[in-house]
Amino acid sequence: QSALTQPRSVSGSPGQSVTISCTGTSSDVGGYNYVSWYQQHPGKAPKVMIFDVNERPSGVPDRFSGSKSGNTASLTISGLRPEDEADYFCCSYAGSYAYVFGTGTKVTVL
Amino acid sequence: QVQLVQSGAEVKKPGASVKVSCKPSGYSVTNFHIYWVRQAPGQGLQWMGVINPSGLITNYAQNFQGRVTMTRDTSTSTVFMELSSLTSEDTAVYYCARRAVTHFDFWGQGTLVTVSS
């Protein structure tokens, strides 16, 4: 499968909101409600922030939210904080135990 | 607490093979699949494959079929990922991750594999 398409970078000032898009196909994002989002700080392992399109694991602030429309999923970070500066990757189930990741987006807090 | 502890960094020559281990703890390993994901320097995440709890069923990404083998030692619950015919393009950090039904909830710390002559 081809990687899901994400913008290379997004930025915002503290307190603002940013939204990251994740575009796939009907075989992955559009075909399943199993989109997850991962935050990765430099040199660290990814951490799940959203799963099943819009579910938050315990401990993840409610500033993080997810949605999906057709073949495109989105992650919104509201009330941007300095510690949110990181790389973010979307991920979708693609059938038969397979997954596909997004190209990644660098979030910069100005 | 749930942990996935991976083996240390490796340096390999082109054409060689590498075997990375991932030892889960803190949960019942019979209930969860383990996935392998790699990340080349400055690049995104790439799904490599999956092994089921018994170690009897695997599914590999098309890009790695014929070169990757995932196994599980049921006596120690340790999972292994072996990649053969290495080239410089295989230089990456390799992660194991636990799948919680639909997503990856715990990850190993990553293992850097460097392929260099």
Amino acid at position A74, single letter:
S
Task: Out of B45, B59, B102, name the one closest to residue A101 (CB).
Answer: B45
Q: What is the spatial distance between Cα A69 and Cα A88, in angstroms, rounded to a whole number?
A: 19
Q: How confident is the model at residue B28 (pLDDT cuts 50, 70, 90)?
A: confident
Could you tell me which of B4, B31, B6 has the C-alpha nearest to residue B94?
B6
> Would you call A91 an interface residue with chain B, using a CB distance cutoff of 8 Å?
yes
CA atoms within 13 A on the CB side of A96: 8
What secondary structure, in 3-state letters, does chain A show?
CCCEECCCEEEECCCCCEEEEEECCCCCCCCCCCEEEEEECCCCCCEEEEECCCECCCCCCCCEEEEEECCEEEEEECCCCHHHCEEEEEEEEEECCEEEEECCEEEEEC
With CB atoms and an 8 Å threshold, state whether B108 touches A45. yes
Does residue A21 contact residue A9 with C-beta atoms inside 8 Å? no
What pLDDT does B35 receive? 96
For residue A94, pLDDT beyond 80: yes
Q: Which of B34, B47, B50, B57 to mutate to test the interface with A (most CBs of A within 10 A)?
A: B47
Output the CA angle B16-B18-B104, nearest 5 degrees.
145
With CB atoms and an 8 Å threshold, state whether A98 touches B59. yes
Taken in order A53, B35, B99, B111, the sign of the CA dihedral is: negative
pLDDT digits (tens, 9 = 90+) for B81-102: 999 999 999 999 999 999 998 9
Shortest Cα distance, chain B CAs vs residue A40, angstroms? 10
Does residue A90 contact residue A75 with C-beta atoms inside 8 Å? yes
Output the CA angle A56-B46-A21, nearest 5 degrees.
50
**What number of helices (H) and strands (E) belong to chain B?**
0, 11
With CB atoms and an 8 Å threshold, state whether B45 touches A104. yes
Could you tell me which of B54, B36, B59, B26 has the C-alpha nearest to residue B111?
B36
**Phi and psi at residue A35, to the nearest 5°:** -95, 135
> Would you call A95 an interface residue with chain B, using a CB distance cutoff of 8 Å?
no
pLDDT digits (tens, 9 = 90+) for A26-81: 999 999 999 999 999 999 999 999 999 999 999 999 999 999 999 999 999 999 99
What pLDDT does B65 receive? 92
Does residue A97 contact residue A41 with C-beta atoms inside 8 Å? no
Task: Out of B95, B105, B109, name the one closest to residue A57 (CB).
Answer: B105
What pLDDT does B30 receive? 79
Does residue B17 contact residue B86 with C-beta atoms inside 8 Å? yes
Taken in order A28, A30, A35, A37, the sign of the CA dihedral is: positive
Q: How confident is the model at residue A87 (pLDDT cuts 50, 70, 90)?
A: very high
Shortest Cα distance, chain B CAs vs residue A17, angstroms? 24
Shortest Cα distance, chain B CAs vs residue A60, angstroms? 12
